[in-house]
């Protein structure tokens, strides 16, 4: 379903043979918006959100996984000591190097490497992942998280900007050009995947309000996650961590998710969504007597 070479080819094709991208603006290389005005508006709105939420120090070593043409590497470079921008598509790397040079940015090192194969040979303070996980299959996705644990310092931060499924289950989206698919995971799945490898969630929020014109598909939402690296959680610690959220909070969360699944099932008539609804209602019934 998800093929590394198809993904690479898709992003490489955003760059013409002469090394010039065909989309209407540099920002479009990351967002795939097809008008200059919309791409720039999206970039402005996301930049405001990132500047509010991303806490960085001048001495930080930052790894940008799936950096593309370095949109966020260049944006954040003035706030850190060094950026390692890791990207699969060489054409995007060349554009990123040119843009960084034109902007006088000298502390970015672009690295050609699949994100799931990358291992930093030093210690990083911050890892940024932006729109990458949705183009990785489950094995690659898990490998990225495991690898980060190897080079991110204890107490270090993972900043995640990721499109997620809003319908309670994984959502597979076939690219309109048919060159590769995207796999949108639920926020819960992402949080659990990181927690199992020793990353605790510090903050989580939607980038845009539900009624924003920047939400292109009601089945998905762009989310921000902030994780802190700790020693790997045992199964008991993992249970205690999620148990500390409180049963009332969990019940409300399950109710909202079940309601969302029901609404999407009515809209899209998907058997998978109905099954997700049943599972959430079962779980809600299990904890309801204890509230």
Helix axes of 247-268 and 271-287: crossing angle, nearest 10 degrees: 160
**For residue 243, is pLDDT > 90?**
no
278 shares its domain with 223: no
Which among 244, 261, 279 is the end of a domain?
244
Instruction: Supply the pLDDT for residue 3.
Output: 60
10: CB partners within 8 A, 6+ apart: 175, 177, 179, 180
d(CA 175, CA 276): 24
Total residue count of the chain as it appears in this document: 291
d(CA 71, CA 23): 14
Which among 244, 259, 278 is the end of a domain?
244
Q: What is the mean pLDDT of residues 232-253?
A: 52
19 shares its domain with 125: yes
82 shares its domain with 36: yes
List the single range of 19-23, 133-137, 226-230 with lowest mean pLDDT: 19-23
Instruction: Supply the pLDDT for residue 128.
Output: 97
Which one, of 188, 180, 186, lies nearest residue 165 by Cα? 186
Q: Look-up: residue for tokens 């183009």?
A: 135
98 shares its domain with 128: yes
78 shares its domain with 125: yes
177 shares its domain with 103: yes
**For residue 216, is pLDDT > 60?**
yes
pTM as predicted:
0.72
d(CA 107, CA 28): 24
List the single range of 96-110, 136-150, 231-245, 270-284 with lowest mean pLDDT: 231-245
148 shares its domain with 284: no
**For residue 230, is pLDDT > 90?**
no
The top-scoring range by mean pLDDT among 106-115, 126-135, 206-215, 248-257 is 106-115
Average pLDDT, the chain: 78
**For residue 158, is pLDDT > 90?**
yes
Half-sphere exposure at residue 61, Cβ-oriented, CA atoms within 13 angstroms? 11
**Torsion sign over Cα 159, 165, 168, 173:** negative
**285 lies in which domain range?**
245-291
> Given phi > 0 = left and psi -120 to 50 = alpha, else beta, which region is 87?
beta
112 shares its domain with 232: yes
Helix axes of 138-151 and 187-196: crossing angle, nearest 10 degrees: 50
Contact indicator for 53, 224 with CB cutoff of 8 Å: yes
The C-alpha angle 162, 81, 46, rounded to 5 degrees, equals: 30
Task: Count the neighbouring beta carbons within 10 Å of the beta carbon of residue 85.
Answer: 28
156 shares its domain with 239: yes
Residue 128 pairs with which residues in a beta bridge?
A: 64, 159
Share of the chain above pLDDT 90, in %: 36
- Per the structure, how many domains does the chain have? 2
Instruction: Supply the pLDDT for residue 244.
Output: 46
**For residue 40, is pLDDT > 60?**
yes
Each residue's pLDDT tens digit, 172-188: 665 555 555 778 899 88
Each residue's pLDDT tens digit, 52-101: 999 999 999 999 999 988 999 999 999 999 999 999 888 889 999 999 99
156 shares its domain with 281: no
CATH number for the domain harbouring residue 61:
3.40.50.150
Q: Coil, helix or strand for 235? A: helix
236 shares its domain with 255: no
Distance (Å) of CA 290 to CA 8, 9, 62, 277, 284: 50, 53, 45, 21, 11
Query: How far is C-alpha 78 from the chain's CA centre?
Result: 22
255 shares its domain with 209: no
Q: What is the mean pLDDT of residues 156-168?
A: 88
Q: Where are the alpha helices (DSSP H) in the chain?
A: 4-12, 28-31, 36-53, 71-76, 90-102, 138-151, 187-196, 235-243, 247-268, 271-287
Instruction: Supply the pLDDT for residue 59.
Output: 97
Each residue's pLDDT tens digit, 191-212: 989 988 989 888 888 888 777 7
């Amino acid at each position: 379903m998800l093929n590394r070479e198809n993904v690479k080819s898709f992003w490489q094709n955003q760059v013409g043979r002469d090394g010039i991208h065909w989309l209407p603006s540099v920002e479009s290389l990351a967002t795939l918006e097809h008008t200059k005005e919309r791409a720039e508006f999206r970039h402005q709105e996301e930049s405001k959100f990132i500047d509010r939420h991303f806490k960085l120090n001048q001495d930080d070593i930052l790894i940008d996984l799936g950096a593309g043409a370095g949109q966020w590497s260049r944006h954040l470079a003035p706030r850190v000591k060094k950026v390692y921008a890791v990207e699969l598509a060489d054409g995007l790397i060349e554009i990123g190097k040119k843009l960084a040079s034109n902007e006088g940015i000298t502390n970015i090192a672009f690295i050609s490497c699949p994100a799931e194969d990358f291992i930093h040979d030093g210690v990083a303070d911050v890892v940024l992942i932006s729109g990458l996980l949705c183009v990785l299959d489950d094995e690659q996705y898990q490998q990225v998280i495991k690898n980060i644990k190897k080079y991110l310092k204890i107490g270090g931060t993972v900043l995640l900007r990721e499109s997620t499924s809003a319908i309670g289950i994984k959502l597979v989206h076939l690219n309109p050009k048919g060159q590769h698919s995207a796999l949108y995971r639920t926020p819960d799945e992402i949080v659990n995947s990181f927690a199992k490898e020793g990353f605790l969630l510090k903050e989580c929020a939607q980038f845009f309000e539900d009624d924003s014109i920047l939400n292109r598909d009601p089945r998905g939402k762009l989310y921000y996650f902030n994780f802190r690296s700790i020693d790997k959680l045992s199964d008991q610690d993992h249970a205690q961590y999620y148990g500390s959220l409180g049963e009332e909070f969990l019940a409300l969360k399950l109710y909202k998710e079940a309601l969302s699944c029901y609404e999407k099932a009515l809209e899209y008539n998907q058997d998978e969504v109905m099954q997700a609804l049943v599972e959430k209602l079962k779980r809600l019934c299990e904890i309801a007597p204890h509230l």
